[in-house]
């Protein structure tokens, strides 16, 4: 009996392997390019650069695993216009198509200044739109909620917790939306490179432009005049005016021109009147001043090191470079914005697995940060603890929150959570900080941990059994904490920030992030900047 079972298993294995080999051999004979042009090009673009549907380039597909891609081609994607091709195409054809979209485009696709300018749209009538909200609610306590499930934005009245408007967004927005200082306009960036400017007071889109083919995030200057975009593809940084006219391109390349780099992210450093830029593959940190009083130094691609200078004068709208020992992928500013606390991600050239502190004025590394793993410093928060100023950051690899002294750069505490988390939030008026464990698998992803900022202990947890519960943002007054049930049929859950009791729940489609206008424009200490 045992023997015949063994033979049966061997036969099944052989048949399975034969089936795979057969599919593979057939996939080799299929003309995937022709299939793509026939079935996919109309929505995803002839060059796979995206059109009505998203771009299908290896860079854009980094976060989509192959089995998921195959399933998507077979069955389509619910709540979008992507149909399933399982009835029209054979398995070998589906396999060939999936293999094709993961292949790099040769020659590498270009996205030039002319392409950028051609892609721009602008509503000229927007100049006459009223300069006050055309709806009844506190414009400072408005929440912008990004619903990634069906690619929409909901605007939520933060006093009544009611949606006042909902509109479609570009596919796959990434990074926090960025606001002008008066809170009237918000800019969204999509992974496919689109930047959209939206008038929150008139509930209408003002302008849109495609800055690149694969973009990371956008930043808006604290005077509302400039918008910067960080790209993986092409490898550059772009400067736009407030209406998204292209002003300047910065190729992310070393001074000798030998090394190029993906641009990880760009941030506004408001007190410095500058943008600070993280480069993924190059051990340099860039700062670009938008202070008209900054001494203009060079234009174009000429840069100046001036190492060891006591006070930096970054030069108006030019990149000033700080050479580092290793690249920085993700970072956090201290309260003065003189220092960035940064970390590299695994897979980055020579990542030592330790963080580093860079003084932006002296333009050099001043300390190492004793935090290993994958700290998600962009989600860090700062607060006072025992007379010291500290920052706390989640970790994408381990279930622990690192708390660091912002003077001595020492690790003062590690707080255990059920699993690795992505986001952390608090508010100056709240005693507590909230964090998720969304990267922690089944056992952890449904739990938010609430940390007492004085004892640095987890004092409570809220759960959404079996679902992913993540990304918190407080109301303007810090009385309520809003969290997301990250599912297609998800929800926004409003908790009382002192009693941790649920007070309201609104159905939403995978609300990936929510942003309170006041907390953002005032750079509240408990939220991301
Ligand atoms: Fe993000 C912000 C980098 C994957 C959702 N993410 C950011 C920022 C950076 C970053 C540098 C800050 C930019 C800003 O807000 O302007 N993210 C990365 C990565 O390197 C990483 C790990 C891999 C990648 O391929 O990009 C990554 N991020 C994700 C996701 O998988 C998330 C969870 C889902 C998604 O939609 O992509 C995700 N990232 C977010 C969100 C923010 C963000 C919601 C804004 C956070 C905030 O509250 O400010």
Choose the final residue of a domain: 50, 68, 102.
102
Q: What is the ipTM of this complex?
A: 0.98
What pLDDT is attached to residue 79? 72
Mean predicted confidence (pLDDT) in 279-285: 94
| Cα–Cα distance measured from residue 300 to residue 287, given in angstroms and rounded to the nearest whole number | 15
- pLDDT tens-digit series, residues 407-431: 999 999 999 999 999 999 999 999 9
What pLDDT is attached to residue 279? 95
What pLDDT is attached to residue 529? 76
Query: Is the shortest distance between the CB of 330 and ligand 1 below 6 Å?
Result: yes
**pLDDT at 8 > cutoff 70:** no
Give the total number of structural domains in the chain.
2
Query: Is the shortest distance between the CB of 135 and ligand 1 below 6 Å?
Result: no
Query: Is the shortest distance between the CB of 217 and ligand 1 below 6 Å?
Result: yes
**Range with the poorest average pLDDT among 44-48, 403-407, 459-463:** 44-48
If asked whether residues 124 and 239 sit together in one domain, one would say yes
What pLDDT is attached to residue 286? 94
Instruction: Give exposure, 83-119, as e/b (b: 16+ Cβ within 10 Å).
Output: eebeeebeebbbbbbbbbbeeebeeebebeeebbeeb
If asked whether residues 92 and 189 sit together in one domain, one would say no
Instruction: Using the mean position of ligand 1's atoms as its centre, give its distance from the Cα of residue 116 in Å.
Output: 24
What pLDDT is attached to residue 21? 55
Assign residue 215 the CATH number of its domain.
2.130.10.10
Query: Is the shortest distance between the CB of 175 and ligand 1 below 6 Å?
Result: yes
Mean predicted confidence (pLDDT) in 387-402: 92
Closest to 246 in 3D by CA, of 356, 372, 94, 120 = 120
Domain span at residue 220 reads: 113-128+172-193+202-282+284-290+318-323
| Cα–Cα distance measured from residue 379 to residue 473, given in angstroms and rounded to the nearest whole number | 11
| Cα–Cα distance measured from residue 501 to residue 465, given in angstroms and rounded to the nearest whole number | 16
Q: Is there a domain that residue 121 lies in?
A: yes
Which of the four pLDDT bands, split at 50, 70 and 90, describes residue 302?
Answer: very low
- Residue of 448 and 9 predicted with greater confidence: 448
Mean predicted confidence (pLDDT) in 356-360: 93
If asked whether residues 49 and 120 sit together in one domain, one would say no
Instruction: Using the mean position of ligand 1's atoms as its centre, give its distance from the Cα of residue 487 in Å.
Output: 17
Q: What is the mean pLDDT of the chain?
A: 89
Query: Is the shortest distance between the CB of 148 and ligand 1 below 6 Å?
Result: yes
Q: Is there a domain that residue 423 lies in?
A: no
**pLDDT at 142 > cutoff 90:** yes
Nearest CA owner, ligand 1 atom 35: 174
Q: In what order do the strands lie in the sheet with 457-463?
A: 424-425, 432-436, 447-452, 457-463
Q: Using CB atoms within 10 A of its CB, is residue 26 exposed (0-12), middle (13-18) or buried (19+)?
A: middle
Q: Which stretches within 429-507 are classed as H helix?
A: none
Instruction: Using the mean position of ligand 1's atoms as its centre, give its distance from the Cα of residue 437 in Å.
Output: 15
If asked whether residues 117 and 85 sit together in one domain, one would say no
Assign residue 72 the CATH number of its domain.
1.10.760.10
The percentage of the chain sitting over the pLDDT mark of 90, rounded to a whole number, equals: 70
Query: Is the shortest distance between the CB of 285 and ligand 1 below 6 Å?
Result: no
**pLDDT at 299 > cutoff 50:** no
| Cα–Cα distance measured from residue 153 to residue 440, given in angstroms and rounded to the nearest whole number | 27
Which of the four pLDDT bands, split at 50, 70 and 90, describes residue 80?
Answer: confident
If asked whether residues 98 and 122 sit together in one domain, one would say no
- The answer to whether residues 235 and 264 touch, using CB atoms and an 8 Å cutoff, is no
Mean predicted confidence (pLDDT) in 233-244: 96
Mutation probe of ligand 1 site: the residue of 174, 327, 483 with most atoms within 8 A of C-beta: 174
If asked whether residues 58 and 183 sit together in one domain, one would say no
Mean predicted confidence (pLDDT) in 497-505: 98
Mean predicted confidence (pLDDT) in 350-356: 67
Nearest CA owner, ligand 1 atom 1: 175
Which two three-digit tokens encode residue 28?
A: 């080799």
If asked whether residues 122 and 238 sit together in one domain, one would say yes
Predicted model pTM: 0.90
Q: Is there a domain that residue 149 lies in?
A: no
Nearest CA owner, ligand 1 atom 37: 174
Nearest CA owner, ligand 1 atom 12: 175
Instruction: Give exposure, 287-304, as e/b (b: 16+ Cβ within 10 Å).
Output: bbbbbeebeebeeeeebb
What pLDDT is attached to residue 6? 65
- The answer to whether residues 391 and 381 touch, using CB atoms and an 8 Å cutoff, is yes
Q: Of all atoms in ligand 1, which is nearest to the CA of residue 425?
A: 48
What pLDDT is attached to residue 12? 53
């Amino acid at each position: 009996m045992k023997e015949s079972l063994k033979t049966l298993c061997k036969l099944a294995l052989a048949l399975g392997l034969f089936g795979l080999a057969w599919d593979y051999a057939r996939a080799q004979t299929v003309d995937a390019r022709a299939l793509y042009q026939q079935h996919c090009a109309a929505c995803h673009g002839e060059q796979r650069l995206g059109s009505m549907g998203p771009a299908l380039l290896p860079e854009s597909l980094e976060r989509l695993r192959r089995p998921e891609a195959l399933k998507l081609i077979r069955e389509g994607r619910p709540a979008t216009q992507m149909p399933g091709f399982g009835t029209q195409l054979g398995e070998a054809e589906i396999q060939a198509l999936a293999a094709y979209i993961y292949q790099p485009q040769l020659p590498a696709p270009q996205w030039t200044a002319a392409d950028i300018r051609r892609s721009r749209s602008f509503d000229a009538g927007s100049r006459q739109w009223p300069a006050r909200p055309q709806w009844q609610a506190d414009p400072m306590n408005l929440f912008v909620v990004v619903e990634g499930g069906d690619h929409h934005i909901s605007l939520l009245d933060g006093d009544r917790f009611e949606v006042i408007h909902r509109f479609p967004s570009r596919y796959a927005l990434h990074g926090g939306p960025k606001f002008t200082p008066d809170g009237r306009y918000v800019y969204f960036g999509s992974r496919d490179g689109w930047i959209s400017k939206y008038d929150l007071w008139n509930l209408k889109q003002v302008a849109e432009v495609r800055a690149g083919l694969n973009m990371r995030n956008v930043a808006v200057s604290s005077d509302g005049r400039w918008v910067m975009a960080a790209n993986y593809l092409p490898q550059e940084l772009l400067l736009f005016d407030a209406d998204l006219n292209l002003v300047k391109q910065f190729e992310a390349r070393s001074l000798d021109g030998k090394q190029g780099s993906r641009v990880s992210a760009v941030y506004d450093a408001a007190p410095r009147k500058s943008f600070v830029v993280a480069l993924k593959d190059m051990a340099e940190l860039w700062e670009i001043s938008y202070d008209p009083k900054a001494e203009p130094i060079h234009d174009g691609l000429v840069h100046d090191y001036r190492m060891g200078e006591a006070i930096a004068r970054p030069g108006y709208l030019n990149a000033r470079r700080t050479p580092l020992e290793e690249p920085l992928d993700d970072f956090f500013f201290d309260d003065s914005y003189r220092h960035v606390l940064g970390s590299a991600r695994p897979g980055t050239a020579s990542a030592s697995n330790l963080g580093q502190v860079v003084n932006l004025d002296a333009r050099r590394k001043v300390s190492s940060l004793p935090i290993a793993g994958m700290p998600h410093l962009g989600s860090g928060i700062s607060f006072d603890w025992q007379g010291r100023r500290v920052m706390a950051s989640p970790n994408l690899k381990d279930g622990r929150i690192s708390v660091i002294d912002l003077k001595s750069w020492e690790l003062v505490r590690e707080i255990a959570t059920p699993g690795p988390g992505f986001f952390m939030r608090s508010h100056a008026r709240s005693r507590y900080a909230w964090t998720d464990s969304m990267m922690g698998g089944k056992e952890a992803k449904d739990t938010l941990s609430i940390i007492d900022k004085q004892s640095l202990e987890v004092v409570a947890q809220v759960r959404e059994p079996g679902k992913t519960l993540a990304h918190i943002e407080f109301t303007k007054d810090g009385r309520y904490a809003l969290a997301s049930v990250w599912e297609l049929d998800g929800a926004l859950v409003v908790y009382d920030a002192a009693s941790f009791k649920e007070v309201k729940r609104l159905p939403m489609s995978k609300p990936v992030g929510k942003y309170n206008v006041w907390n953002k424009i005032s750079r509240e200490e408990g939220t991301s900047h």
